[in-house]
Amino acid sequence: MYQIFSTPTCAKSQQVLPELCSPLGSSTPMDSVPLLRRPGQINKNIRRKKELDKHFKDQFIIDAGQKHFGPVSCKTCGMVYAAASPEDETQHAQYHQRLLEGIKFVGWKKERTMAEYWDGKIIVVFPDDPKYAVKKAEDVRELVDSELGFKQANLSRPSKIKTYLFVSNDRKIVGCVIAEHITQAFRVLSEDVHRTDFEKLKTVENQRAWRCSTEPERAICGVSRIWVFKLQRRRGIASRMVDTVRNTFMYGSFLSKTEIAFSDPTPDGKLFATKYCGTPNFLVYNFIS
């Protein structure tokens, strides 16, 4: 038995390919509220860059020696925008400020440091920590949720989550993992079964589809969110954060890779989880049926 999901809400894929979505029924793991991810938000920077490239290719624009021409990528926040467009400039300025404010880390008197590295450290925030720490964790989660495109960002059991933050040496929060207790998860199935259906869905949903087993498996820790600042990716930050989660989530035990699961993974999340877990058949939970 298996079922096919796509990362955006399944309601969307039901409209497109109704036969490919089967309900989870009572086996849906609901340790937290289902996350409603806006499909349009995923990898929007990549799409934005393509759109801008096309726009500039299609249009005959005279380069009269402006300072910036064509799409540019901000070296500080990573946003890709058209420097020549006032609308884009405004959007960038707003995003830039919000991001820098959100990831700024002033340092706290009492920090729970879980790991230290040459390029930063990992701290954890519990829900009953001082208000300033909880507020910072919430601010970062809001940034992450807006990048992931979550419509409904509430956690159903905020009192149970642990927020791990990677703080760089220059005092910026460049990574975040929100971990929660779960009891069961479902294994992602390999893509080669029913290739035709999968290919169909792949075309429509642009590789966001994944299928998983209907058989629940025991799991202990759910990765509700995982995010690394765009300009710091592929430096092992997410891997080190999940290692730290596994090492510290449950007092006195080191969780194996088969005891952790990922909530409704994005394409990036899928690529990361596949590499990190050493298998494309990693565990998932908390998806929409």
Point out which residues bind Zn ion (CB under 5 A): 74, 76-77, 96
Cβ contacts of 152 within 8 Å, gap of 6 or more = 33, 34, 35, 36
97 vs 214 by CB, closer to Zn ion: 97
Q: Report the C-alpha gap between 47 and 40 in whole angstroms.
A: 9
Query: Do 194 and 22 meet the contact criterion of CB atoms below 8 Å apart?
Result: no
Q: How far is the CB of 202 from ligand ACO (least distance, A)?
A: 17
Q: How far is the CB of 12 from ligand ACO (least distance, A)?
A: 17
235 lies in the binding site for ligand ACO (CB under 6 A)? yes
Q: How far is the CB of 266 from ligand ACO (least distance, A)?
A: 4
CB-side exposure of 278: number of CA atoms within 13 Å? 3
Q: How far is the CB of 226 from ligand ACO (least distance, A)?
A: 4
Q: Which two tokens stand for residue 142?
A: 């809001």
Q: Which of ligand ACO, Zn ion, none does 219 bind, CB closer than 5 to 8 A by kind?
A: none
The residue within the footprint of ligand ACO, chosen from 238, 245, 255, 260 (CB under 6 A), is: 238
With contacts defined by CB under 6 A, name the span among 21-29, 48-56, 83-91, 258-266 that binds ligand ACO: 258-266
83-102: b or e for each residue (b if 16 or more CB lie within 10 Å)? Answer: ebeeebeeebeebbeebeeb
The DSSP secondary-structure symbol of 239 reads H
Q: Which of Zn ion, ligand ACO, none does 246 bind, CB closer than 5 to 8 A by kind?
A: none
Instruction: Give Cα 22 to chain centroid, integer Å.
Output: 24
With contacts defined by CB under 6 A, name the span among 61-69, 89-97, 212-220, 262-270 that binds ligand ACO: 262-270
228 lies in the binding site for ligand ACO (CB under 6 A)? yes
239 lies in the binding site for ligand ACO (CB under 6 A)? yes
Q: Report the C-alpha gap between 150 and 235 in whole angstroms.
A: 25
Q: Which of Zn ion, ligand ACO, none does 223 bind, CB closer than 5 to 8 A by kind?
A: ligand ACO
For CA atoms 229, 233, 239, 244, give the dihedral sign: negative
Identity of residue 214: T
Nearest C-alpha neighbor of 210 from the set 13, 2, 6? 6
- The residues with which 280 forms a beta bridge, in sequence order, are none
Q: How far is the CB of 117 from ligand ACO (least distance, A)?
A: 12
Q: How far is the CB of 131 from ligand ACO (least distance, A)?
A: 25
Q: Report the C-alpha gap between 242 and 179 in whole angstroms.
A: 9
Cβ contacts of 215 within 8 Å, gap of 6 or more = 1, 186, 187
10 vs 143 by CB, closer to Zn ion: 143
Site string for ligand ACO, 105-144 (x = CB under 6 A): ----------------------------------------
265 lies in the binding site for ligand ACO (CB under 6 A)? yes
The DSSP secondary-structure symbol of 33 reads P
Interface residue list for ligand ACO (CB under 6 A): 148, 223, 225-228, 233-239, 262-263, 265-266, 268-269, 271-272, 275
